Structures are given as C-alpha cells and as structure tokens.
Amino acid sequence: MAGNWKMNKTSSETSEYFAEFRPLVADTEDREIVICPPFTALDAAVKGALGTRIAIGAQNVARAKAGAYTSEVSGSMLRATGATYTLVGHSECRKHFGETDEVVLPRTIAALESDLTPIICVGESPEDRASGQTEMVLTRQFAKGIGPLTPAQFGRVVIAYEPVWAIGTGKTATPEVITEAHRIIRREARSRFGDEAAEALRILYGGSVNPGNAKTLMAQPEIDGLLVGNASLDPQSFAAIVKA
C-alpha cells in the first residue's frame, strides 16, 4: 500500500503526519506500507517511520550517479536518507517534464544499483483508451521501460498501473478495466521473464483510490496493492485504505 504525496507537505507537516499515522496502522503488520514524500521531507519521513515497518520512498531518481545534473537527486543520495523505494516514470513526470519510456529504464537501473526498490508507473492516456490503444501502450511501455532489465533486476521491481484518466479525477477505473490491464502487464512479464517471475510480480493500481473503493479494489485477485495520491495526504484516510 503506497502513498504518493506528490508536491505536498513540508518536513514539519511530515513529522505531524507520522505522529498521527503510526498508531493508526500499528496493527497492520501483515501488509507493506510505503510513503513517498517530496525530496525535502525524506529525512523527516524516515525519522517519523523509525521503529515501524513503514518504508519511505522518493518520487523519482536520477539516471546518473553524480555530476552536472542540476535539479536531479541520485540513488545513493536517496539511499543515504534511509529511503528504500522510489517511484519511476510517473505520468505527471511524463506529462509535465517530458519523461519518456526511454528514460524510465535508466532511472530504474539507477534505483536498483542504489539498492532502492523502483515502483515503475505505466498507464494509458484518455486519448489512448478512447482510440482503443490501451493494450498497445502498455505493451510498449513494458517493452521499453521494463523488458530490457535482467531477470535478477526484474525480480526486484514493483509495477503500478495508473491510467492517466483516473489520476486525480475521481474516476476510478472499474475492477474489470484494471484486471484487464494487469493481465496484459503480467502476460508481458511472463513472455519476457517466465511464469515464476510473472506470478511473483506485484502490480499496484493507482487512480482516485479512496477509503470507499479500496476494499472492492483489493478484493480483485489481480490487484496486489494500491498507489494512492490525494487520499494518502490525510493520515486517517490513508490508514483506512491500508486496513481495507
């Protein structure tokens, strides 16, 4: 159960969040929780999560290890904060900052080389869906961003299916639509990496998840977890989703 805070919360707001969130999820030992705050709040989040099983993730990672890459943050810098996950290829990075399928692969590899678990985001735009291109887009995103990984690298990634039309819109994809997309992703995983790796792969769903729909979504066998934006900003609402 992963929360993506996007560009929200200062470090002091992050500390307040964890003080409230920790006791709410103290009895959920059987599920993994990841929270991805902005870079500037990573330290506060790691401190806030100390002594719990809540993992902290970044929202992106640089391709390069170090050097003249103004604005970027490297995997080793992230790891040094205590973060253990990072998002890669989020649709907002694709939309606002021109990230492409080609960038997803080196960022993923950089994350793995710094011992971070990448949560690789894929998903079709509203136009892709309207024109019947969903399968083609997911297949292409897999082929370019994930397919070239080695089997050992692939075994360490998490994939998040986030249809762009469902993000921040209140339009959650139906369980049928999500199941179909997850099957396409798992089929691609199977054909490239084999049955065992495809079965072990965790595929999260993201897009307008809230405490009211989380239970139905988690009841779908194809959905292994959720990547939550807006509803993860409030400790009570994210805790309710984690418990669902």
Judged by the rule CB under 6 A, the positions of this chain that interact with ligand 13P are 4, 90, 162, 167-168, 206-209, 227-231
Q: How far is the CB of 164 from ligand 13P (least distance, A)?
A: 9
Give the span between the Cα atoms of 158 and 136, in whole angstroms.
Answer: 20
For residue 178, the one-letter residue type is I
Q: How far is the CB of 106 from ligand 13P (least distance, A)?
A: 21
Q: CB count, 10 Å around CB of 38?
A: 17
Segments of the chain assigned E as strands: 2-4, 33-36, 54-58, 85-88, 117-122, 158-161, 202-206, 225-228
Q: CB count, 10 Å around CB of 69?
A: 12
**Beta bridge mates, 87:** 119
Residue nearest to ligand 13P (CB): 229
Decide if 159 contacts 206 (C-beta within 8 A).
no
Q: How far is the CB of 68 from ligand 13P (least distance, A)?
A: 29
Nearer to ligand 13P, 23 or 212 (CB): 212
Annotated catalytic residue 162: yes
Annotated catalytic residue 182: no
* Residue of 99, 162, 182, 188 with catalytic role: 162
Q: How far is the CB of 2 from ligand 13P (least distance, A)?
A: 8
What amino acid positions are annotated as catalytic residues?
A: 90, 162
